[in-house]
């Protein structure tokens, strides 16, 4: 099988899986030192654990396996480190990971599971900060906590309900700001009808964090191979052989950490189980102090709105605005141009004082949904000793890192010390008639777009 076919997904245009195309992101222009000792796999190798995918999940797993469990590890990443979503995201190291919300998780799985899930999300953020301190990761931390801004007056009621739920269910007091209070805090955009203040999370430079993770994993003894797409996976009993174009890794345990870039054609057990969704980001030129003052947005807050198809935004340390949204249903190059133009209009509508401001960077990439709208850390069906950790619903900076650490414990056959709800270990369900996923996505976007326009 060619490397291209093995790493592609039929859900979107295959060009989006072409590892020869470098991600042209703001982060890559300012990504700090490249990781060293991450050469492509050469020849035959053996390891206790082989990991497919070198994003937050795969590299966190590798670091924890080598450091805490004393196991030998080989990470195989198809592109360069940072080619996938972990090098392309908005840098919100915040709560999240599922597509159901607190109440949905509570109703479906009960109180203890909902509490464990809430605790896991907070612990995930704490772990990123702890890893940074311990391994000297250059996070470029900027902005504390998260703000969810009501885009319609009625959505403010939903935010107030959420604050009450969090108090009732988890004993935390989350404030809801009046529109004027939000402005006083230095955050002003059109469609401001108040905001929920989530007192957890922070902003970071995702690629520097990821490259730091790669360095730390290598320092702890893990072997990391970039430009090493796994093109075939043989399983014989409990023995696995992962083949790249230039070598083979033999291992008794495997972790699939491929999230929105999960290959459909590598093995039948992975086919049809995830729904990759595009998210698109613009980054403006640096805004001057007088421009920031004119708009009334002067602080590096991490902000998203109450839409199902949400907009997210933050001021970066060099005073550029990062502005992101869902990337639509087509991955064609002309669709990218259209998406960027639409995002530009949405940006101008929210920030009238910055209408004239040029955009220096625009890119997109895949986040990942699952059929049951939950993340999964579960065995791969029919592949004894193999696990998968994925489907963070657009919130994988902290949660991918956390499930990577939890996967390391599972692969080592040990208990995981942090909070981890049992529902995460449920099998990853396949989508019904998986070839219809583009249609499901189109229908969901049409419905959510309609709902988002409701008052």
Ligand X SMILES: Cc1cc2nc3c(=O)[nH]c(=O)nc-3n(C[C@H](O)[C@H](O)[C@H](O)COP(=O)(O)OP(=O)(O)OC[C@H]3O[C@@H](n4cnc5c(N)ncnc54)[C@H](O)[C@@H]3O)c2cc1C
97, 375 Cβ separation under 8 angstroms: yes
Report residue 199: phi and psi, to 5°: -85, 30
Q: Judged by CB under 6 A, does residue 324 bind ligand X?
A: yes
Q: Are strands 274-284 and 359-370 parallel, antiparallel or unpaired?
A: antiparallel
- The answer to whether residue 229 forms part of the interface with ligand X (CB under 6 A) is yes
How far does the chain reach from its first CA to its final CA, in angstroms?
51
Do residues 341 and 362 lie in contact, with contact meaning Cβ atoms separated by under 8 Å? no
Site for ligand X in 338-397 (CB under 6 A): 364-367, 390, 392, 394-397
Measured CA to CA, the distance from residue 63 to residue 134 in angstroms comes to 12
Give phi and psi for 75, each to the nearest 5: -100, 130
Nearer to ligand X, 5 or 294 (CB): 5
In the bound state with ligand X, the residue whose beta carbon lies nearer, of 76 and 182, is: 76
Measured from the CB atom, the residue of 294 and 359 that comes closer to ligand X is: 359
Nearest one of 262, 283, 359 to 28, comparing CA atoms: 283
Q: In angstroms, how far is CA 93 from the centroid of its own chain?
A: 9
In the list 31, 49, 66, 77, the residue contacting ligand X (rule: CB under 6 A) is: 77
- In 3-state terms the chain splits into helix, strand, coil percentages (rounded to 5) of 40, 25, 40
Q: Measure the CA–CA gap between 241 and 248, rounded to whole angstroms.
A: 6
CB-based closest residue to ligand X: 396
CA distance 394 to 144: 19
Q: Choose, by CB under 6 A, the member of 53, 212, 272, 375 that binds ligand X.
A: 53
- The least CB distance from residue 86 to ligand X, in Å, is 3
Q: Is residue 421 a contact point for ligand X (CB under 6 A)?
A: no
91 binds ligand X (CB under 6 A): yes
Give yes or no for a contact between 263 and 8, defined as CB atoms under 8 angstroms apart. Answer: yes
What distance in Å separates the CA atoms of residue 411 and residue 64, rounded to the nearest whole number? Answer: 11
448 Cβ contact list (under 8 Å, min separation 6): 307, 308, 309
Binding status of residue 92 toward ligand X by CB under 6 A: yes
Residue 361's φ and ψ, nearest 5 degrees, are: -140, 140
Output phi, psi for 385, to 5 deg.
85, -5
Nearer to ligand X, 57 or 284 (CB): 57
- Provide, rounded to whole angstroms, the least separation between the CB of residue 214 and ligand X: 11
> Among 88, 292, 339, 383, which residue interacts with ligand X (rule: CB under 6 A)?
88
Binding mask 253-282 for ligand X (x = CB under 6 A): ----xxxxx-x--x------------x-x-
Binding part of the chain for ligand X, among 48-56, 125-133, 345-353, 446-454 by CB under 6 A, reads 48-56
Token pair for 118? 């809430």
Binding segment toward ligand X, per CB under 6 A, in 143-151, 212-220, 252-260, 426-434: 252-260
Measuring CA to CA, how many Å separate 230 from each of 129, 199, 378, 409, 430?
31, 40, 20, 23, 22
Q: Shortest approach of ligand X to residue 280 CB, angstroms?
A: 6
Q: Is 121 in the site for ligand X (CB under 6 A)?
A: no
In the complex, minimum distance from the CB of residue 271 to ligand X, in angstroms, rounded to a whole number: 13
Which C-beta is closer to ligand X: that of 156 or that of 394?
394
Q: 145's torsion region: left (phi>0), alpha (psi -120 to 50) or beta?
A: left
Q: How far is the CB of 296 from ligand X (least distance, A)?
A: 23
Among 23, 31, 84, 375, binds ligand X (CB under 6 A): 84
Q: Which are the contacts of 6, defined by CB distance < 8 A and separation ≥ 6? A: 229, 230, 231, 232, 263, 265, 266
Nearer to ligand X, 266 or 374 (CB): 266
Region of 36-44, 75-83, 123-131, 287-295 interacting with ligand X (CB under 6 A): 75-83
Q: Which is nearer to ligand X, 291 or 303 (CB)?
A: 303
For ligand X, give the closer residue by CB, 31 or 400. 400
Count residues contacting ligand X (CB under 6 A)? 45
The least CB distance from residue 90 to ligand X, in Å, is: 3
- Give me the phi and psi of 419, to 5 degrees please: -65, 135
Residues 26, 27, 83, 431: which binds ligand X (CB under 6 A)? 83
- Contact pattern for ligand X over residues 179 through 218, marking x by CB under 6 A: ----------------------------------------
7 binds ligand X (CB under 6 A): yes
- Which residues of the shown chain bind ligand X in the complex (CB under 6 A)? 6-7, 52-58, 76-79, 83-86, 88-92, 229-230, 257-261, 263, 266, 279, 281, 324, 364-367, 390, 392, 394-397, 400
């Amino acid at each position: 099988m060619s490397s291209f076919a093995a790493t592609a997904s039929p859900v979107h245009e295959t060009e989006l899986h072409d590892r020869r195309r470098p991600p042209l992101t703001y982060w890559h222009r300012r990504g700090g030192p490249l990781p060293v000792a991450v050469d492509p796999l050469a020849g035959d190798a053996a390891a206790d654990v082989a990991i497919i995918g070198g994003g937050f999940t795969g590299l966190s797993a590798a670091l924890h396996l080598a450091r805490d469990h004393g196991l030998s590890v080989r990470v195989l990443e198809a592109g360069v480190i940072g080619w996938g979503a972990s090098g392309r995201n908005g840098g919100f190291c915040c709560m999240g990971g599922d597509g159901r919300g607190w109440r949905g998780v509570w109703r479906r799985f009960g109180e203890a599971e909902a509490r464990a899930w809430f605790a896991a999300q907070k612990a995930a953020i704490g772990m990123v900060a702890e890893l940074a301190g311990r391994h000297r990761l250059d996070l470029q931390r900027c902005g504390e906590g998260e703000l969810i801004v009501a885009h319609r007056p009625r959505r403010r009621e939903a935010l107030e309900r959420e604050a009450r739920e969090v108090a009732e269910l988890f004993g935390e007091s989350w404030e809801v700001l009046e529109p004027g209070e939000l402005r006083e805090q230095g955050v002003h955009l059109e469609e401001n009808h108040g905001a929920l203040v989530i007192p957890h999370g922070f902003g970071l430079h995702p690629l520097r964090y990821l490259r730091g993770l790669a360095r730390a994993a290598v320092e702890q003894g893990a072997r990391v191979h970039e430009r090493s797409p796994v093109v075939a996976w043989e399983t014989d009993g409990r023995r696995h052989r992962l083949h790249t174009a230039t070598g083979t890794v033999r291992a008794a345990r495997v972790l699939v950490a491929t999230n929105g870039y999960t290959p459909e054609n590598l093995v039948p057990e992975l086919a049809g189980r995830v729904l990759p969704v595009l998210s698109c980001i613009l980054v403006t030129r640096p805004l001057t102090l007088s421009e920031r003052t004119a708009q009334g947005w002067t602080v590096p807050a991490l902000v998203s709105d109450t839409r199902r198809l949400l907009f997210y935004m933050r001021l970066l340390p060099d005073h550029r605005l990062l502005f992101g949204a869902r990337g639509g249903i087509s991955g064609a190059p002309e669709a990218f141009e259209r998406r960027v133009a639409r995002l530009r209009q949405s940006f101008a509508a929210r920030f009238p004082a910055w209408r004239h401001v040029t955009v220096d960077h625009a890119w997109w990439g895949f986040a990942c949904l699952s059929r049951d709208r939950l993340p999964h850390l579960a065995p791969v069906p029919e592949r004894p000793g193999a696990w998968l950790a994925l489907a963070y619903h657009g919130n994988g900076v902290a949660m991918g890192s956390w499930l990577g650490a939890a996967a390391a414990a599972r692969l080592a056959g040990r208990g995981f010390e942090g909070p981890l709800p049992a529902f995460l270990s449920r099998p990853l369900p396949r989508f019904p008639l998986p070839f219809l996923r583009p249609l499901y996505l189109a229908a969901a976007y049409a419905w959510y777009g309609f709902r988002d326009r409701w008052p």
